Amino acid sequence: MAEGKPLLRSFVEVPRDSHFPIQNLPFGVFRRRGQPEGPPRPATAIGDFALDLAAVSAAGLFDGPLLSASPCFHQETLNMFLGLGRPAWKEARATLQKILSADEPVLRDNEALRKNCLVPMSDVEMLLPITVGDYTDFFCSVHHARNCGFIFRGPQTPVNPNWFHLPVGYHGRASSVIISGTDIIRPRGQGHPTGSAQPYFGPSQKLDFELEMAAIVGPGNELGKPIDIADAEDHIFGLVVMNDWSARDIQAWETIPLGPFLGKSFSTSVSPWIVTLDALKPFACEAPKQEPEPLPYLAEKNHINYDIPLEAWIKPKEQSEASVVTKTNFKHMYWTVTQQLAHHTVNGCNLRPGDMFATGTLSGPEPDSLGCLLEITWNGQKEISVGNSIRKFLQDGDEVILTGCCKGEDYNVGFGTCTGKILPSLP
Amino acid sequence: MAEGKPLLRSFVEVPRDSHFPIQNLPFGVFRRRGQPEGPPRPATAIGDFALDLAAVSAAGLFDGPLLSASPCFHQETLNMFLGLGRPAWKEARATLQKILSADEPVLRDNEALRKNCLVPMSDVEMLLPITVGDYTDFFCSVHHARNCGFIFRGPQTPVNPNWFHLPVGYHGRASSVIISGTDIIRPRGQGHPTGSAQPYFGPSQKLDFELEMAAIVGPGNELGKPIDIADAEDHIFGLVVMNDWSARDIQAWETIPLGPFLGKSFSTSVSPWIVTLDALKPFACEAPKQEPEPLPYLAEKNHINYDIPLEAWIKPKEQSEASVVTKTNFKHMYWTVTQQLAHHTVNGCNLRPGDMFATGTLSGPEPDSLGCLLEITWNGQKEISVGNSIRKFLQDGDEVILTGCCKGEDYNVGFGTCTGKILPSLP
Ligand SMILES: [Ca+2]
Ligand SMILES: [Ca+2]
Ligand SMILES: [Mg+2]
Ligand SMILES: [Mg+2]
Ligand code: NI
């Protein structure tokens, strides 16, 4: 406690290493398991419990001016809440920190209400918390850009000249954004190995993960009205961990001249809890210095990233333990999420609440901080150990577990996990 | 009348050159103009009238087994109707052809009902008829692919080797798909002219149209379950004319290595009436022979296009008349919409009702059948006459009018127009 202010604590017991202390309070959507399943409900996480926000709202505990009459927590997704903007988000956070705090009796001392609102995580199924209108994948780690350029185009011009002038990105597929835990069926498609005369069709032989994070958009903008970079932060609700599953053989053959398509669109997994920028504030850090200086529409006074350590683990089917295959950090990102947002709208493109901006693969500068197998195994030219197995790319039965957690002096602000297991392709 | 079957006629007077005789019956969504505006209503077009399908449904005239109890016409978009599939579409078409026919008294002789259902086109505003979940832009005219390759990469390898093996495509922006008639604000962005040391930021200096059509998806598929090419047609409801507005300077600078992004995402206009495949059936024609033979998952028994003559017109602000700048045809498309759909889902990607598949610019083989100014003016290297003006790219105040119409012996099946006027960029 640098300031001597006592650490805020909840009456809900929160294990010391939990991702979800009262300082985090991320937003998600769950349903109760059982027969029948419960309806989808907005929620926050506290320790090993999910707090049902529809129940909190129905009990009249959201008593602030913006939320007391709002139906935003009686929805099946968070989109309405996201559209309300930061004042409502701050009001929700303040209310939740109050009613969950150790000193506040309203929930702590009301057993019936507690039973109705607080559900053990083991009794819930997490759902995709947003309807994704559009999903954009950026390409904002210079280390990833450099490695991909080298692997695909050779050592002469690893990073394309536009890269240092704008956040390069492309539209991804919104329909196949799925919640963590959903199985991934190995995609089939066309490949065309170098030297081969004809393309072939079959299951991808170079199935990969990409360790990314994604920003979730709050209030959007009208078509034709760009968002100034000074206002960009007000349009970003929070972050999730994302796995941009990639079939490298399909991608390599299809990608010229219009970019990635079926090599990506079979599935994109996101972690269930959206961690707000407000919760991440204590972990803000300077973003990499930009050289050349960005054009004025991309120049920002407050050029920050967040210090979010990230890890990717693989658990082969026949092993009981997962093994870490990379450790990297969100802070390596060259173009910030606010720069991404200002760039995305500068042509007049309209955003809507729930849109997703992915960072691109978050590779760091070190050999053990690369964010995908393409880079780690240099496109399958070398093998890595995963426990007592070896891998060039993902095999059937492999489970990939991505995780991110900001470690503070007194508490963590974590993202939980983003997982997916590879199932064999269709026959 | 080759078969001697009398031509079906409506009691509603349909001008001889109308796009909307009783043989067409496209689907759209309108609202009545006025104070206050009416609510969005599904509709069909007959001559110069829109027929309100909510009113038709409320009157109990959809009396078939699939639609009599369906709320699909009491929605603000067509998505629910699209999701019902071809049996419901055929039932709707049969009902509408019956109640609009000259011999059928139910609507013809009921003045109150007629007044309630049939609205002069001049009294309605057409709306975007679908919620677009995802929009994909293909690249399926070989003439366009060849010309673009030549312009951007030189005469050595104009068409990339993958092009003849798969329908190349990329994800477009769904949020900025807009209805015909919406103004287009000239986008701003980064450009980087060859030879210039630094990129600049400003209004696009190479604003272009692309004459395309788009297929509108009906029933979708579950994630991980590809749609077989033999079933693909059942998932396609109909076609619209589309203008994929393109800022060539922004596109050229941003596009490597991940494809088009802000050079396209500022607006994509569609014509308001979706013409069904059932209405287009009389205009089916053989699609271009494919060499090499497609892989089995893309090989189709019924390899057809539709003979749809298409035109692009430009009306400069200071001129009273529009001038035609190109005449082309949907039938030039190398990869059919059914092949596009089979390819799009072969990796397991899921489609949803209302998804859009654009054809890509529909350039034909002749110099006067090129589908965009990039090709017509060879990237601004030559000028064309537009009435008494000249153009390399679009200027502020220009209105672009795309249209398509199948001309039968006895009637047309047309698409109306897809229009948009260029407004000056933001300061
Ligand atoms: Ca990616
Ligand atoms: Ca296009
Ligand atoms: Mg993906
Ligand atoms: Mg467009
Ligand atoms: Ni301290």
* pLDDT (0 to 100) of residue A214: 98
**Strands (DSSP E) along B33-187, which ranges?**
41-46, 49-52, 118-120, 124-127, 135-138, 169-172, 177-179, 184-185
List, for residues B271-310, the tens digit of each pLDDT value: 999 999 999 999 999 999 999 999 999 999 999 999 999 9
Rounded to a whole number of angstroms, the distance from the CA of B261 to the nearest CA of chain A is: 6
What CATH architecture is B135-423? Alpha-Beta Complex (3.90)
| Residue A196 pLDDT grade (very low, low, confident, very high; cuts 50, 70, 90) | confident
Helix (H, G, I), strand (E, B) or coil at B182: coil
Question: b or e along A339-351 (b: 16 or more beta carbons within 10 Å of the residue's beta carbon)?
Answer: bbbbbbbbbbbbb
Q: Which one from A19, A143, A144, A332 is the annotated catalytic residue?
A: A144
CA distance A41 to B94: 43
What is the distance in angstroms between the CA of the first residue and the CA of the last residue of chain B? Answer: 59
**d(CA A1, ligand 5 centre) in Å:** 2
* pLDDT (0 to 100) of residue B342: 98
CA distance A21 to B31: 51
* Residue B427 amino acid letter: P
**Tokens representing residue A52 in the block:** 């049902």
Residue B146 burial by CB count (10 A; 0-12/13-18/19+): exposed, middle or buried?
Answer: middle
Helix (H, G, I), strand (E, B) or coil at B407: strand
pLDDT over 80 at B5, yes or no: no
Contact between A69 and A63 (Cβ < 8 Å): no
Of B168, B226, B258, the CB nearest to A254: B168
Q: What is the 3-state secondary structure (H, E, C) of A195-247?
A: CCCCCEEEECCCEECEEEEEEEECCCCCCCCCCCHHHHHHHEEEEEEEECCEE
Helix, strand, coil shares of chain A, percent, nearest 5, are: 25, 30, 50
Mean pLDDT across B203-209: 98
Residue B234 burial by CB count (10 A; 0-12/13-18/19+): exposed, middle or buried?
Answer: middle
Residue A190 β-bridge partners = A201
Residues ≥6 apart with Cβ < 8 Å to B293: B299
CA distance A2 to A150: 46
* pLDDT (0 to 100) of residue B4: 58
CATH H-level superfamily of A27-127? Fumarylacetoacetase, N-terminal domain (2.30.30.230)
Contact between A303 and A286 (Cβ < 8 Å): yes
Kindly state whether A163 is in contact with chain B, defined as any CB-CB distance less than 8 angstroms: no
**Strands (DSSP E) along B169-231, which ranges?**
169-172, 177-179, 184-185, 188-191, 200-203, 207-208, 211-217
Complete DSSP assignment for B260-298: --TTTTT-EEE-S-BEEHHHHGGGEEEPPP-SSPPPGGG
* pLDDT (0 to 100) of residue A6: 82
A91 is in an annotated binding site: no
Supply the pTM of this predicted model: 0.97
Mean pLDDT across A64-83: 98
* pLDDT (0 to 100) of residue A2: 46
Optimal mutation site among A147, A148, A171, interface B, most CBs of chain B within 10 A: A171
Residue A164 β-bridge partners = none
Rounded to a whole number of angstroms, the distance from the CA of B10 to the nearest CA of chain A is: 40
List, for residues B68-84, the tens digit of each pLDDT value: 999 999 999 999 999 99
Q: Where are the domains of chain B?
A: 27-127, 135-423
pLDDT over 90 at A154, yes or no: no
pLDDT over 80 at A377, yes or no: yes
For residue A423, give the H/E element and its range: strand A412-423
Residue B349: its chain A contacts at CB < 8 A?
173, 175-176, 262, 265-266
pLDDT over 50 at B43, yes or no: yes
Kindly state whether A256 is in contact with chain B, defined as any CB-CB distance less than 8 angstroms: yes
Q: Is the dihedral of CA A267, A272, A274, A279 positive or negative?
A: negative
Mean pLDDT across A98-125: 98
* pLDDT (0 to 100) of residue A1: 40
CA distance A97 to A20: 12
For residue A402, give the H/E element and its range: strand A399-407
Of B201, B258, B350, the CB nearest to A295: B201
What is the distance in angstroms between the CA of the first residue and the CA of the last residue of chain A? Answer: 59
CA distance A206 to A204: 6
Residue of A nearest to B295 (CA): A201
CA distance A278 to A25: 10
User: Which among B423, B309, B27, B352 is positioned nearest to B174, based on CA atoms?
Assistant: B352
- Chain centroid offset of residue A172 CA: 14
Using the 8-state DSSP alphabet, how is residue B6 labeled?
Answer: P
List, for residues A215-235, the tens digit of each pLDDT value: 999 999 999 999 999 999 999
Residue B275 β-bridge partners = B239
Residue A155 vs residue A283, higher pLDDT: A283
Helix (H, G, I), strand (E, B) or coil at A313: strand
Indicate yes or no: CB of B172 within 8 angstroms of CB of A171. yes
**Strands (DSSP E) along A244-322, which ranges?**
246-247, 268-270, 275-276, 284-286, 304-306, 309-315
User: Helices (DSSP H) in A135-179: which residue ranges?
Assistant: 142-153
Rounded to a whole number of angstroms, the distance from the CA of A161 to the nearest CA of chain B is: 9
List, for residues B371-391, the tens digit of each pLDDT value: 999 999 999 999 999 999 999
Residue A420 β-bridge partners = A400
**d(CA B87, ligand 2 centre) in Å:** 32
Mean pLDDT across A303-323: 98
Helix (H, G, I), strand (E, B) or coil at A397: coil
For residue A414, give the H/E element and its range: strand A412-423
Residues 358-417 of B with CB under 8 A from A: none
List, for residues B209-223, the tens digit of each pLDDT value: 999 999 999 999 999
* pLDDT (0 to 100) of residue A171: 98
pLDDT over 90 at A173, yes or no: yes
Residues of each annotated binding site of B: 137, 139, 153, 210, 212, 244, 251, 264, 268, 361
Helix (H, G, I), strand (E, B) or coil at A91: helix
Residue B97 burial by CB count (10 A; 0-12/13-18/19+): exposed, middle or buried?
Answer: middle
A251 is in an annotated binding site: yes
Kindly state whether A169 is in contact with chain B, defined as any CB-CB distance less than 8 angstroms: yes
**d(CA A66, ligand 2 centre) in Å:** 43
Complete DSSP assignment for B303-366: -EEE--EEEEEEE-TT-SS-EEEEEEEGGG-SS-HHHHHHHHHTT-PPP-TT-EEE------SS
> ∠ CA(A130), CA(A335), CA(A393), 5° rounding?
70
User: Which among B203, B272, B277 is positioned nearest to B243, based on CA atoms?
Assistant: B272
Indicate yes or no: CB of B265 within 8 angstroms of CB of A160. no
Q: Kind of pairing, strands B184-185 and B412-423? A: parallel
> ∠ CA(A25), CA(A29), CA(A32), 5° rounding?
110
pLDDT over 60 at B3, yes or no: no
Indicate yes or no: CB of B192 within 8 angstroms of CB of A295. no
Indicate yes or no: CB of B188 within 8 angstroms of CB of A162. no
* Residue A321 amino acid letter: E
Helix, strand, coil shares of chain B, percent, nearest 5, are: 25, 30, 50
| Residue A3 pLDDT grade (very low, low, confident, very high; cuts 50, 70, 90) | low
* Interface ipTM: 0.96
Interchain CB contacts (distance < 8 Å): A and B = 196
Query: Counting ligands in written order, which one lies closest to the CA of residue B259?
Result: 2
Of chain A, the percentage scoring pLDDT greater than 90 comes to 95
Q: Kind of pairing, strands A399-407 and A309-315? A: antiparallel
* Residue B295 amino acid letter: L
Of A139, A265, A292, the CB nearest to B349: A265
Phi, psi of A403 (to 5 degrees): -150, 155
Kindly state whether B165 is in contact with chain A, defined as any CB-CB distance less than 8 angstroms: yes
